[in-house]
């Protein structure tokens, strides 16, 4: 088996086309008149809508025409503030076709998180729904660049109707002549200090994901393949672990995002739609194990998981109850799906991240980018020039430069490599919190807490959580005249939840007289984590 993996690595060569457009590759390329299914959307009420690739091609042409007629030009940013839905895919693919840059936005974002990302990206258009429009209304007057807001559904709430605009537009459109390095999407990521950074990716990101997708899913496409994930289509996992590569391969995608993950409902959904391929984050798998899920008729062919370490016990549960091997992957917003596992090629070792996916050069390096020997702890680095790697942090050359050392992008994670080439995650070199598959930066939460009149200082860390891997905990120093009560703790939680996001608010709040700091005034987060 090792020989087969080594042969794959040795034989792999990247051959990127001179011209590439994600929108064309994910819709027009398969609109051959055969009527192949592209999207299956199950609404909350159980009703189902189906879209062929011909439908997807025509609808994305229509909205590309809408954006162009509105005066947007190549390179302009288009925000997409929607849950899993056909309109989400249409908005992104239309922006790509028009040579514009899409900006995915999480529906649980609060006012400040939404405002920051729209302002930082300079988005000129936004596609959202009525709940999103209500959030936008509270910050719209502080977004001078945002000139066009399209709202999905029959009632557009007084804004521009997405559906009506599509109906009026032509279904013929000449796509922008884009190359693999032309900007396509800005995905905001979390950091330990300051505001989130926008990872700007080129159209090549689509092809950069394909080696891992075909490696994990055993040569997708296979007859009967149908792909689903409960992960939001606002992050790189939902968009590029599932939606876009799957469509590019001509495989249908199931769209359904419940307001809350229900293990039994997820199993029922996969059985009813005969889902064959799935991306389930470890938190979802943990909830399934807790619920002791059972579903006769489940017919999964392959399962991708990632974002947190899985472990032997959870891997055994997946094999026993879901009937497939849990294949872990490793990556991040800046450079995704670069390490993975598949026992077809090498034995899976619980706790290991696996080995580099063919086409990706991942090493353990020191701070200067020099490779370290097996067994040595160092930075997990990815060699420059990888197609799945970001072009830059959006309008942030200092942060971009700081992400690289020598020939490698430094992930911010520490790891080790053993003599057989397995990679092992050790710890974070920064303080990003991994909770329920999300990477959460403490800086944005701390800044939000400091806006509350009761808070003088705040430090945010991750503490162990049996389901989420880590839970967000805030240590708060109060201003004079305020008392650290349960009521104030609840108020601070709501303050963050409403302004940032429901996945970022501190589930635990502790009050303290002082924060541990270095001589230069940096918070000693490791000391706070040690307190629990």
Residues in the chain: 532
In three-state secondary structure terms, 417 is strand
Q: In angstroms, how far apart are the furthest CA atoms of the chain?
A: 71
CATH label of the domain that carries residue 66: 3.40.50.12780
Query: How many alpha carbons lie under 13 Å from residue 141 in its C-beta half-sphere?
Result: 1
Q: Is residue 428 part of a domain?
A: no
Q: Is residue 383 part of a domain?
A: no
DSSP track, 91-145: HHHHHHHTT-EEEE--TTB-HHHHHHHHHHHT-SEEEE-HHHHHHHHTTGGG-TT
CATH label of the domain that carries residue 493: 3.30.300.30
**H-only helix segments in 12-80:** 22-26, 53-69
Q: Is residue 401 part of a domain?
A: no
User: For every residue of 319-337, which 3-state class applies, written as one string?
Assistant: HHHHCCCEEEEEEECCEEE
Q: Is residue 283 part of a domain?
A: no
User: For every residue of 199-227, which 3-state class applies, written as one string?
Assistant: EEEECCHHHHHHHHHHHHCCCCCCCCCCE
pLDDT for position 436: 86
- Give the residue numbers spanning the domain of 453: 433-531
Q: Which of 201, 217, 233 is the last residue of a domain?
A: 201
- Whether omega for the bond prior to residue 221 falls within 30 degrees of 0, making it cis, is yes
Q: Is residue 113 part of a domain?
A: yes
pLDDT for position 519: 53
Q: Which of 177, 201, 225 is the last residue of a domain?
A: 201
Q: Is 43 left (phi over 0), alpha (psi -120 to 50) or beta?
A: beta
The pair phi, psi for residue 3, each rounded to 5°, is -60, -40
Q: Which of 168, 184, 201 is the last residue of a domain?
A: 201
Q: Is residue 305 part of a domain?
A: no
- Which pTM does this prediction carry? 0.88
What is the tally of structural domains in the chain?
Answer: 2
pLDDT for position 520: 45
> For residue 476, what are the CA distances in angstroms to 208, 441, 492?
42, 17, 10
In three-state secondary structure terms, 431 is coil
Four-point Cα dihedral 332, 338, 342, 346, nearest 10:
-130
- Beta strands in 273-375, from DSSP E residues, in sequence order: 277-279, 302-306, 326-332, 335-340, 355-356, 362-365
Q: Is residue 216 part of a domain?
A: no
Distance, in Å, from the CA atom of 28 to the CA atom of 306, rounded to the nearest integer, reads: 30
Q: Is residue 32 part of a domain?
A: yes
Pick from 244, 212, 329, 229: which is nearest to 279 by CA?
A: 229
In three-state secondary structure terms, 162 is helix
> Per residue of the chain (532 residues), what is the pLDDT tens digit?
557 899 999 999 999 999 999 999 999 999 999 999 999 999 989 999 999 999 999 999 999 999 999 999 999 999 999 999 999 999 999 999 999 999 999 999 999 999 999 999 999 999 999 999 999 999 999 999 999 999 999 899 989 999 999 999 999 999 999 999 999 999 998 655 568 999 999 999 999 999 999 999 999 999 999 999 999 999 999 999 999 999 999 999 999 978 888 999 999 999 999 999 999 988 889 889 888 898 889 999 999 999 777 888 889 999 999 999 999 999 999 999 999 999 999 999 988 999 999 999 999 999 999 999 999 999 999 999 999 999 999 999 999 999 999 999 999 988 999 999 999 988 776 677 888 888 787 878 988 998 999 998 888 999 999 988 899 999 999 999 999 999 999 999 999 999 998 889 999 999 999 988 755 456 788 789 889 8
């Amino acid at each position: 088996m090792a020989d087969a993996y080594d042969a794959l690595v040795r034989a792999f060569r990247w051959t990127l086309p001179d011209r590439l457009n994600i929108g064309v590759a994910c819709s027009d390329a398969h609109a051959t008149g055969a009527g192949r299914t592209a999207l299956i959307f199950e609404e909350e009420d159980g009703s189902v809508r189906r879209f062929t690739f011909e439908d997807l091609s025509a609808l994305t042409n229509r909205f590309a025409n809408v954006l162009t007629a509105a005066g947007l030009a190549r390179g302009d940013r288009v925000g997409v503030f929607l849950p899993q839905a056909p309109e989400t895919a249409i908005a992104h693919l239309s922006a790509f076709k028009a040579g514009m840059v899409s900006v995915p936005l999480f529906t649980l974002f609060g006012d400040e998180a939404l405002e920051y990302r729209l302002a930082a990206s300079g988005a000129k258009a936004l596609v959202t729904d009525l709940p999103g429009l209500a959030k936008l209304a509270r910050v719209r007057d502080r977004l001078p660049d945002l000139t066009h807001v399209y709202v999905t559904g029959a009632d557009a709430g007084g804004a521009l109707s997405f559906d009506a605009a599509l109906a009026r537009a032509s279904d013929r459109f000449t796509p922008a002549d884009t190359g693999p390095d032309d900007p396509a999407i800005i995905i905001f990521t979390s950091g330990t200090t300051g505001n989130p950074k926008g990872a700007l990716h080129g159209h090549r990101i689509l092809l950069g994901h394909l080696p891992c997708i075909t490696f994990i899913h055993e040569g997708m496409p296979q007859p009967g393949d149908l792909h689903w994930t409960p992960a939001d289509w606002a992050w790189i996992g939902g968009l590029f672990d599932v939606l876009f590569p799957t469509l590019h391969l001509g495989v249908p995608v199931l769209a359904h995002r419940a307001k809350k993950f229900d293990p039994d409902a997820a199993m029922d959904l996969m059985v009813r739609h005969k889902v064959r391929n799935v991306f389930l984050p470890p938190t979802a798998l943990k909830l399934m194990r807790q619920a002791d899920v059972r579903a006769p008729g489940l017919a999964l062919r392959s399962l991708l998981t990632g974002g947190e370490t899985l472990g032997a016990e959870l891997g055994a549960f997946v094999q026993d109850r879901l009937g497939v091997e849990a294949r872990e992957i490793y990556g991040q917003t800046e450079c995704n799906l670069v390490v993975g596992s598949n026992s077809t090629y090498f034995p899976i070792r619980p706790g290991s991240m696996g080995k580099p996916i063919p086409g990706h050069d991942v090493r353990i390096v020191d701070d200067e980018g020099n490779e370290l020997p097996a067994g040595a702890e160092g930075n997990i680095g990815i060699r420059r020039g990888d197609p799945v790697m970001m072009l830059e942090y959006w309008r942030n050359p200092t942060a971009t430069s700081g992400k690289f050392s020598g020939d490698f992008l430094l992930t911010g994670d520490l790891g080790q490599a053993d003599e057989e080439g397995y990679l092992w995650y050790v710890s974070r070199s920064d303080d990003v919190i991994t909770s329920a598959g999300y990477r959460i930066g403490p800086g944005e939460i701390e800044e939000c807490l400091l806006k509350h009149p009761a808070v003088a200082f705040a430090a945010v860390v991750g503490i162990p959580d049996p389901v989420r891997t880590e839970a967000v905990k805030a240590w708060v120093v109060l201003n004079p005249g305020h008392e650290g009560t349960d009521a104030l703790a609840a108020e601070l939680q709501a303050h963050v939840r409403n302004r940032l996001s429901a996945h970022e608010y501190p589930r635990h709040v502790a009050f303290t007289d002082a924060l541990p700091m270095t001589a230069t005034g940096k918070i000693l987060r490791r000391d706070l984590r040690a307190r629990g």
